[in-house]
Amino acid sequence: NISFQIDKPSSLRIQILDMTGRVMYNNIDKITSLTYNTTIHVSANLESGVYLIKLNAGMSEYNSKFIKQ
């Protein structure tokens, strides 16, 4: 699950990359009208390891690493 907050309705792009830069999950142009904290479920079959989440909402970008156990 990924939790985030946006300040206005916008298109949403979520990518999960492994540490070599390979895209493991890609969800482009999911339009959201939510303007508060929200959580979405990412249904990617990921092996244990370290990954990078890239989330773009409108003109904002958020990057974070996470560990899948």
Q: pLDDT for 37-62, tens place per residue?
A: 566 666 568 888 999 989 887 778 88
Sheet containing 10-18, strands listed edge to edge, beginning at the edge strand earlier in sequence? 23-32, 10-18, 49-57, 60-68
Whether residue 46 contacts residue 1, with contact meaning beta carbons closer than 8 Å, is answered with no
Q: If you average pLDDT over residues 21-36, what whole number do you get? A: 73
Residues 6+ apart with CB under 8 A from 29: 11, 12, 13
Cβ neighbours of 13 (radius 10 Å): 15
Residue 25 pLDDT: 87
Q: Is 6 or 26 the better-scoring residue by pLDDT? A: 26
Residue 69 pLDDT: 84
3-state helix, strand, coil in the chain (%, to 5): 0, 60, 40
| pTM reported for the whole predicted model | 0.72
